[in-house]
Amino acid sequence: MSAVSPATVLCTTACALLCATGSAQYAVTPAGLEHVQGNANSSLPFQGISSRYQQVHDAADIRALNGRRPFLASGLHLRPASTYQIPARVWDVELTLGATSKTAATMSTSFAANFTATPTTVLPMQSVSLPAGVGVGGNPNPPLWIIPFKQVFSYSTAGGGLCWEWRHKNGKDNSLAPMDAVTFVFAGAPSVLPQFGAGCTANGRTRPARSDAVIAAGQLTAGLVDGPSSAAVVAVLGLSRADLAVAGWCEKVYPTPSITLAGATDPAGRFALGSVPVANLQIAPYFEVYIQYGFADPTLPNGIGLSSLGTVATPPNGGSLVSRLYSVGTTNGNENATSGFLSRYQGLVTMLKIF
């Protein structure tokens, strides 16, 4: 086979972005907390015989989720805080999600006022039984309470912010159930997120090609590891994800390109993309930079190989873009409250299971 030029690698990789779509597992809000535990805990709205509870998440927060793509949510998952014991719970629960023009700063004390578009009742009032468990002290903890929706909720990036509402009645237990939460004093830092995708194994290598990034001594350094020796390479950087599959290729193309840089690997199969001071990533609101490499390799299908996806993240939004409203009590009736107590810039870490 003939060698593939850097221009061909770049063109073919970019053209692949027109082919197909992919998926992710969670949209976790506040943004940036999918891989980081929150800095607080909350038993609201779970402590009480009955409750009505809402959280409003700013548009800037929700739009930062899922690689800045629309998503379909099929369930609500919640994880324990720290190493707290979480008792089992049984209630009748109703869940509603909807778009809103309200923000954490303008959330109303009136429950009805916080849905500014027709919401979706994703779970009609019905008995829900959730297990006991304990936080393992992970960063983050895995979800413990998993509540599937009866109706899928569709979020569009043009839809604004998100308001979600929990109502329950007929609870059996008033004890605390400390779930993962955030408050505005949350102080995060830029981070390198876990690798995504498998990557292709280049000629002469025993491990798949990897998009490597390291934060050390105040610098972020990024590059390709385990590519082919002395081969054409293109680095693709983007602020959103496409997750596009190309027939016959050994890996998806993940970023939607914002910047592309061409070069060549060294004899060890490495390509140094460069470094940047971490201070340059102290930016709000939250966003992720996606980095993937395409390289020429005549031993792979179509002569093209791809690395795994590397992701560099700015500090999480924390509690800066979320507020909550609640009415919780020791008898039934609170599920029908029309107003409640407003707690600004605090809320549960909300894991939406998505397609």
Mean pLDDT (whole number) for 322-339: 97
CA distance 272 to 212: 9
With cut-offs at 50, 70 and 90, classify the pLDDT of residue 11: very low
| pLDDT for 154 beyond 50 | yes
Report pLDDT for 248. 86
Q: Note the pLDDT tens digit of each residue in 229-264.
A: 999 999 999 999 999 998 889 999 999 999 999 999
Tell me the C-alpha distance between 330 and 335, whole Å: 11
CATH code of the domain made up of 6-21+189-313: 2.60.40
16 pLDDT higher than 70: no
Q: Of 18-27, 210-219, 237-246, 338-347, give the lowest mean pLDDT range.
A: 18-27
Tens digits of per-residue pLDDT, 166-204?
999 999 988 999 999 999 987 789 999 999 999 999 999
Is the pLDDT reported for residue 155 higher than 80? yes
How far is Cα 312 from Cα 36, in angstroms, rounded to an integer? 14
The pLDDT of residue 62 is 96
Domain ranges of the chain: 6-21+189-313, 31-187+318-354
Mean pLDDT of 215-221: 96
pLDDT in tens, 36-64: 999 999 999 999 999 999 999 999 999 99
- Give CA–CA dist 301/191, Å, rounded: 34
